[in-house]
Structure 1
Amino acid sequence: MSRLARIVAPALALLAPLGLPFVPAQAATDVQVVTSPGGITAWLVEEPSIPMVAIEITFKGGASREPDDKVGVTSFLSTMLDEGAGELESAAFSARADQLALKYGFEAGRDSFSVSARMLSETRADSVELLRSALVEPRFDPEPLERMRATILANLREAATDPQAILARTWREAMFGDDPYARPLEGTPESVAAIGAEDLRAAREWALNRSRMAIGVVGDITAEELGPLLDRLLGDLPNAPWEPLGPAELAADRSLEVVDFDIPQSTASFVQEGLARDDPDFIPAYVMNHILGGGGFTSRLTEEVREKRGLTYGVYSYLAPYDRAALMAGGVSSANDRVAEAIEVIRAEWARMRDEGVSEEELDAAKRYLTGAYPLRFDANAKIAGQLAGLMEEGFTPDYLTERNGLIEAVSVDDIARVAGRLMDPDRLKVVVIGQPEGLPPADQPAD
């Protein structure tokens, strides 16, 4: 059995009785590292039994590279690439995609810009041509540009009164200050209003720069066929070397912050330093976080905040290793008169993890879940393509696919104790609350 097959096969056995879609076992062949004649590299899993191909492309950089006066231009670009390209205006482009049964998507992130596509084998050549035109020859015509601008501005107006959006904006600004990570991905009403076609063309030049690119491909295509396809699809994109920004500095001020908002239930975010993805302690931290708040109903935070005290319907924590900063964060919602107690319990659990670590029973349960659930990330072609591109982007080799569960299994209680000592300090938590919480310092001013 191949390396990837050993990962995927257990998931197939779980999914088959449920009638859920999955990649047939014979599709789970070894990952091939393919380099095109033009020098473009991709990871490929061949699966000829399903007549389709899934492609995931990640361009490094993302919204962090936006000019200060063009905040939101990367997100704007993601909405415009299929609004007409080459000789096809917006409606004609959509009609052609429907005719080919081509499914695609463009997404702007803080550190990357991603392109996803699924195409049938019988229309693959024409689908590649259409997708290429969107990437290489977008039109940015006035009518769709103004239509998409109106949509973005409507979303921004809605976000201005949405408690979750206000909360996210507040903690990002508090933690990142003037760094690009603090900016709203969709921009501001002022910046979006000022973005024109020339700005979008300029953004395409750096957002779709193939000098820093990761590609995962899964489906009915051979390595010999994939190379020329990559050159045709991506070969005419910009290929200019560029230097990423330096590390983002996190603010030292970790005082509690309250945003006044007239809602019956307060919502809180808590944020602190995390670990970079290439840190040797990342895997132990990942397991630790699962036990603390990443494991849903089995986590300590759920047990202490929800089950024992009934303070919330949901509480969670997670690791967020951005390219230029690593965070450990989480959230909770609770009634205004109980959110202060919920925050107090969360801080206590932060300290308990630091001081006591975890038990062997907790660690064994976390390992069983994390290793058993991993194959479910590979139950469809598009998911596999996304995993391949993600691992390639993060600098791994294909061997990580088989090594990952072993790394989880190797984590010990001593490893958890070490990483908890590095990370877990309730005094380093930046807590931001939106609502009208009782028992917390009042907000300086109401939300906009």
Structure 2
Amino acid sequence: MFNKTSCLLLALVFSAGLNHAVYASSEEDFLNNEENLDLSPNQLQSIPLLQSLKNLNTATEYQAPYVHELKNRYGVRSLFVESQDLPMVDIQLTFNAGAARDTEIANGLGGLASMTARLMSEGTEKYNATQIASVFEQTGARFSIQAYRDMFVVHLRVLSDPKKREPALNMLLEILNNATFKNNSLSLAVSNNQAGQQQLKENPSRLMGIQFYRSVYGTHPYAEPITGTNGSIKRINPERLKQFRDKFLVAQNMNIAITGKLDTKEAQKLAEYISSHVPQGTKAGELAQPLITDKFVIKHIPFQSTQAHITFGHIGTTRNDPDRLALEVANRMFGGGGFNSILMQELRVKRGYTYGAYSSFSFSQAPGVFSFSYSTRQDQLMDSIKVAHKAFAEFIRQPIDRKQLEDTKAGMLRAYPNNYSSNASINAQLGLLGFYGQPADYLSQYPKLLASLTVKDIENALRKHLHADNMTIVIVSPALDQDELQGILDENLTSTASDNTRIKPKS
């Protein structure tokens, strides 16, 4: 993986030989194209320029791009970052129309958003799939549609030249408004999905993830797989797909992110053009709150394997929670920071139970999840669970190590520029800011917000949002003694509890 300095090195080395017009869709595509890496003597004459690298001011790496909040007369939130470096424009339309909305059309339609995204570019009344692909190819554009749990994302990357940009954008709008979802395309997609479901049964990690979400969320819309199941997608028909599109893929349920070689007036005009050519509609409603358990939930998936797979977790919080950044720091300290994290130290470095153990938060519209997972040998299953759960309980209860906190914050600050290291990454960040209603200046405020977090902030967030006593544990293994496991969990709570802590063993 190339970082920003690597890209600069390559740019300096090749500058003498790459003065001809080369337009790539991303820095990664350019660097992966062997035709662009012809090391001729003429190109190597630029090597002396590398001496200037020692004069780089590292502080500039932390300067976030300025985000314009465009005044869209259609009321559609539109964010824009100007970038004159490449003759490209990235456009992202983000709808509140992810898999969480599947059952708002009808019960039992899991996978509806995903299937809508998958089939939209298969044809309209005017164009078939080949003609659609040809328009994007002729304009040098890249077009994609993807459904997630919360979001339905339409993305276009195209040259900023209006002669290229306008045909590609009009084709995007044609697809968005007039996709036909024909039965033959749907049948093929269902068939392919069935093959994927069969492969899923042979993947213990995927099985564990699906069971975890179902166990944690119950009947909540987040519970089911984004792509649905064999049973649910069989209930999907063209009429249901059109209903989903007409209800959710509308202007008032959308935000727009634009990044690239435009000025503010051009970007505003572009955003309003898009907003006026999408049906207006209404904004999607609030999602229900998931029910939170107050006890351990143990789920076992029988699976013949030399490795056992384990996930711990519970309901977390939303993306707009004021404690989100404190929780991101805490997560990095516990299990999201590689070899320096507590979980990796306890399970791998000290005991060799696993190659890797990781924790994560998902922050979403409705409360997401906190979880940590790893795999280990079958004969180490119970011992590893005891160590992992105890480490988690102690992390919540014990004082935060101040030096570890400062080191973690410094590492996060150094890594943060990756979020705006290219037009594509900036555009993705704008989509998130717009979708979750965050302020336009969040990227530039992040270093200050991170620096202001104290030990007390982290400890308060931990004890409010993380709970060692009401976790869901999913284990994939040939066999499991659930009584023994319950005893281990209760013993951990007893051994780590004190008179002033809320952690108590379950009866």
Q: Give me the TM-score of the superposition, normalised by structure 1.
A: 0.90
1:95 is paired with a residue whose SS is helix
Q: Which runs of 5+ in 1 are unaligned?
A: 1-10, 444-448
* Distance verdict in 2 for CA 1:367–1:53, change over 3 Å: same
1:185 is paired with a residue whose SS is coil
2:238 is matched with which residue: 197, 215, 222? Answer: 197
In the alignment, which residue of structure 1 is the partner of 2:343? 301
Q: Aligned pair 1:180/2:221, yes or no?
A: yes
In the alignment, which residue of structure 1 is the partner of 2:160? 121
- Contact kept, 8 Å, 1:86 with 1:133, in 2: the verdict is no
In the alignment, which residue of structure 1 is the partner of 2:19? none
In the alignment, which residue of structure 2 is the partner of 1:227? 268
State the alpha-carbon separation in 2 of the partners of residues 364 and 327 from structure 1.
Answer: 25
In the alignment, which residue of structure 1 is the partner of 2:133? 94
2:99 is matched with which residue: 60, 63, 72? Answer: 63
- Contact kept, 8 Å, 1:78 with 1:106, in 2: the verdict is yes
How many residue pairs get aligned? The number is 432
Q: Aligned pair 1:366/2:408, yes or no?
A: yes
Q: Which has the larger radius of gyration?
A: 2
Aligned residues with identical type, % of pairs: 25
Q: Aligned pair 1:320/2:350, yes or no?
A: no
1:30 is matched with which residue: 66, 79, 90? Answer: 66
State the AA in 1 paired with 2:235. A
1:21 is matched with which residue: 20, 27, 32? Answer: 27
CA offset digits 1:327-379 (Å, max 9, x no partner): 21111111111122222111111122122232121011101111110001111
1:306 is paired with a residue whose SS is helix
1:21-420 matched pairs, under 5 angstroms: 21=27, 30-66=66-102, 67-122=106-161, 123-235=164-276, 236-420=278-462
Displacement of 1:29 = 5.1
State the alpha-carbon separation in 2 of the partners of residues 325 and 50 from structure 1.
Answer: 38
- Contact kept, 8 Å, 1:153 with 1:192, in 2: the verdict is no
- Contact kept, 8 Å, 1:54 with 1:119, in 2: the verdict is yes
Q: Give me the TM-score of the superposition, normalised by structure 2.
A: 0.80
Following TM superposition, where does structure 1 have runs of at least 4 consecutive aligned residues deviating by more than 6 angstroms?
Answer: none
Displacement of 1:234 = 3.9
Q: RCO (CA 8 Å, sep 6+): is it higher in 1 or 2?
A: 1
- Contact kept, 8 Å, 2:85 with 2:261, in 1: the verdict is yes
2:304 is paired with a residue whose SS is coil
* Distance verdict in 2 for CA 1:314–1:362, change over 3 Å: same
CA offset digits 1:210-244 (Å, max 9, x no partner): 22322221101222222332333343234224422
1:45 is paired with a residue whose SS is strand
State the alpha-carbon separation in 2 of the partners of residues 324 and 202 from structure 1.
Answer: 24
Higher mean C-alpha displacement, 252-261 vs 344-353: 252-261
* Distance verdict in 2 for CA 1:196–1:425, change over 3 Å: closer
State the AA in 1 paired with 2:140. A
- Contact kept, 8 Å, 1:131 with 1:233, in 2: the verdict is no
Q: Which runs of 5+ in 2 are unaligned?
A: 12-25, 29-59, 486-507
State the alpha-carbon separation in 1 of the partners of residues 350 and 397 from structure 2.
Answer: 21
State the AA in 1 paired with 2:77. T
State the alpha-carbon separation in 2 of the partners of residues 258 and 287 from structure 1.
Answer: 31
- Contact kept, 8 Å, 2:96 with 2:284, in 1: the verdict is no
State the AA in 2 paired with 1:396. Q
State the alpha-carbon separation in 2 of the partners of residues 160 and 442 from structure 1.
Answer: 27
CA offset digits 1:160-190 (Å, max 9, x no partner): 3321222112111211111211112111212
In the alignment, which residue of structure 2 is the partner of 1:7? none
